[in-house]
């Protein structure tokens, strides 16, 4: 039976662990380091068009998150992508009645970021609910795709007006996507058009890239042609995680939505939100051991392997951090310097093909080549 209530202390601890191993920094870490540095942005109103949007509950959660992110410097960009996790659970304060955990990738348009968020959510939901979640995924495409899909839905409701429930046909005159959701809920959507049949070339390529990442990292998923995202907030990939027949997390790309929060043009963004009832009194502070290892990777082969290694490292509680979604080696090394861990683990394309890594002692610069077989055990012994 699926857990309906989870202690806030457990939620915070497990979300923090997943964030560390999959390369997500807590939002609180950014705000602490940048406090007082963004005064010049306070009087800029990037939110003036936000009230015009119809926001669903998940979009409202993301909007509140982005309001806080806009004070971070440097702002998210392809050169400085930000992988952030956030929660409304705060150490030293009473546990919230409804807990929220979010994972976001900002400043990157690559399918790799979507795959990392999905893997992080799988790890977290498995820990929380003690069973494997079902990952359902679809793509609503870009503006061009959504416009074509809206026309297909309009024709669908006209053709089926005599056989569909009256409520669905009536609602389709105002909002075809909402009407489509009603048809799906009523289980009369056998011949409902699929958005993936209308994908633009760019959206199709992005969706295929994501599916390739999921398959090459052995991430289980199922295509869900009837999974729909509504409104002007979401675009392209959308996905949900289901446990015990109930949706526990939902995510999507939201590139265009970012322009309401930042002065620069919109940039690539993906986010996912998990909501669950929580319990407890005052939330305890998390104590984490000092990081001993920083793992950097170069190239897609190394990235895919690092995604698969993350769970092995996490289950063995190795004091290691990595930034899987950050592609720039320079940016990864900058983050390594900030962590100041004594050991650096390096995997490039050559090492990925040979299934090995280079372990460097940052003090002596001595390097050792280690096989991926038994790597976690070797690092555990050194920790």
pLDDT at 117: 97
Per-residue model confidence (pLDDT) at position 35:
42
How far apart (Å, rounded) are the C-alpha atoms in residues 34 and 167?
Answer: 51
DSSP-assigned states of every residue in 40-100: GGTT----TTGGGS---HHHHHHHHHHHHHTTSSSPP-SSS-EEEEEES--TTSBPPSEEE
**120 in Cβ contact with 17 (< 8 Å):** no
At 256 the pLDDT is 87
Average pLDDT over residues 2-14: 92
Q: What is the mean pLDDT of residues 13-32?
A: 89
Q: Judge whether 271 and 65 are in contact, CB under 8 Å.
A: yes
Q: End-to-end alpha-carbon separation of the chain, Å?
A: 37
pLDDT at res. 1: 58
Confidence category of residue 33, pLDDT binned at 50, 70, 90: very low
Sequence-separated (6 or more) residues with CB below 8 Å from residue 291: 319, 320, 321, 339, 341
Give yes or no for residue 73 having a pLDDT over 80: no
Higher pLDDT, 235 or 74: 235
> In sequence order, which residues have a C-beta less than 8 Å from that of residue 370 and are 6 or more positions away?
356, 357, 358, 359, 378
pLDDT, tens digit, for every residue of 273-332?
999 999 999 999 988 788 999 999 999 999 999 999 999 999 999 999 999 999 889 999
Express as a percent the part of the chain with pLDDT over 90.
66
Q: pLDDT tens-digit profile of 326-371?
A: 988 999 999 999 889 999 999 999 999 999 999 999 999 999 999 9
Check pLDDT > 50 for residue 34.
no
| Domain residue ranges in the chain | 5-140+200-279, 143-196, 293-382
Query: Tens digit of pLDDT for each residue in 58-71?
Result: 999 999 999 899 88
Can you give the pLDDT at residue 31? 58
Q: How confident is the model at residue 188 (pLDDT cuts 50, 70, 90)?
A: confident
pLDDT at 32: 45
Torsion angle of the four alpha carbons 269, 274, 279, 280, in this order, in degrees rounded to the nearest 10: -30
For tokens 């509950």, name the residue. 57
Mention every residue, 6+ apart, whose C-beta is less than 8 A from residue 257.
59, 62, 63, 66, 233, 234, 266, 269
pLDDT at 44: 55
The pLDDT-based confidence of 36 (bands split at 50, 70, 90) is: very low
Q: Which pairs count as long-range contacts for 175-178, CB under 8 Å and 24+ apart, including other chains? A: 175/230, 176/150, 177/150, 177/153, 177/228, 177/230, 177/231, 178/230
Q: Which CATH number fits domain 5-140+200-279: 3.40.50.2300, 3.30.930.10, 3.40.30.10, 3.40.50.720?
A: 3.30.930.10
The answer for residues whose C-beta is within 8 angstroms of residue 211's C-beta and 6 or more apart is 137, 221
In angstroms and rounded to an integer, the radius of gyration of the C-alpha atoms of the chain is 22
Structure tokens that stand for 219 in this block = 């991430």
Q: Residue 5 above 70 pLDDT?
A: yes
Tell me whether the omega of the peptide bond preceding residue 74 falls within 30 degrees of 0, making it cis.
Answer: yes
192-208, pLDDT tens digit by residue?
899 999 999 999 999 99
pLDDT band at 51; cut points 50, 70, 90? low
Residue 48 confidence (pLDDT): 61
C-alpha 46 chain-centroid distance: 24
Q: In the block, which residue shows the tokens 């990292």?
A: 217
Task: Say how far residue 155 (Cα) sits from the centre of its chain.
Answer: 34
Options 3.40.50.1820, 3.40.50.800, 3.40.50.2300, 3.40.50.720; CATH of 293-382 = 3.40.50.800
pTM for the model stands at 0.91
Q: What is the mean pLDDT of the chain?
A: 89
Which DSSP helix (H) or strand (E) runs through 259?
none
Both structure tokens of 279: 């319990």
Whole-number Å distance between alpha carbons of 65 and 84: 10
For 246-273, the pLDDT digits (tens) are 999 999 999 989 988 887 777 899 999 9
Distance CA 244, CA 63 (A): 29
- Pair type for strands 343-347 and 246-253: unpaired
Chain length of the chain: 383
């Amino acid at each position: 039976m699926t857990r309906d209530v989870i202690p806030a202390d457990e939620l915070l601890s497990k979300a923090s662990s997943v964030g560390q191993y999959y390369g997500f920094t807590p939002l609180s870490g950014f705000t602490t380091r940048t406090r007082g540095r963004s005064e010049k942005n306070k009087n800029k109103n990037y939110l003036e068009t936000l009230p015009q949007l119809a926001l669903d509950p998940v979009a409202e959660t993301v909007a509140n998150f982005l309001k806080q992110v806009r004070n971070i410097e440097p702002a998210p960009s392809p050169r400085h992508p930000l992988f952030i996790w956030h929660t409304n659970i705060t150490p030293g304060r009473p546990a919230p009645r409804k807990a929220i955990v979010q994972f976001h990738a900002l400043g990157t348009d690559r399918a790799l970021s979507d795959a990392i968020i999905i893997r992080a959510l799988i790890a977290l939901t498995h820990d929380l609910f003690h069973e494997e979640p079902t990952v359902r995924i679809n793509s609503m495409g870009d503006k061009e795709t959504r416009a074509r899909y809206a026309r297909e839905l309009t024709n669908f409701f006209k053709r089926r007006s005599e056989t569909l429930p009256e409520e669905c046909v009536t609602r389709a005159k105002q909002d075809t996507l909402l009407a489509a959701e009603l048809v799906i809920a009523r289980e009369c959507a056998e011949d409902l058009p699929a958005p993936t049949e209308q994908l633009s070339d760019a959206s199709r390529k992005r969706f295929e890239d994501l599916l390739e990442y999921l398959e090459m990292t052995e991430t289980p998923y199922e295509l869900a042609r009837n999974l729909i995202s509504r409104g002007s907030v979401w675009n392209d990939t959308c996905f949900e995680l289901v446990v015990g027949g109930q949706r526990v997390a939902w995510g999507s790309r939201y590139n265009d939505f970012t322009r309401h929060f930042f002065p620069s043009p919109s940039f690539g963004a993906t986010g996912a939100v998990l909501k669950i009832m929580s319990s407890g009194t005052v939330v305890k502070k998390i104590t984490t051991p000092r990081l001993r290892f920083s793992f950097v990777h170069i190239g897609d082969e190394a990235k895919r392997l690092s995604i698969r290694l993350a769970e092995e490292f996490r289950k063995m509680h190795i004091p290691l951090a990595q930034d899987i979604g950050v592609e720039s080696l320079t940016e990864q090394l900058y983050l390594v310097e900030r962590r100041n861990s004594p050991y650096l683990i390096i995997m490039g394309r050559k090492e990925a093909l040979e299934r090995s890594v280079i372990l460097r002692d940052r003090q002596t610069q001595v390097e050792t080549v280690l096989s991926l077989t038994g790597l976690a055990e070797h690092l555990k012994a050194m920790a």
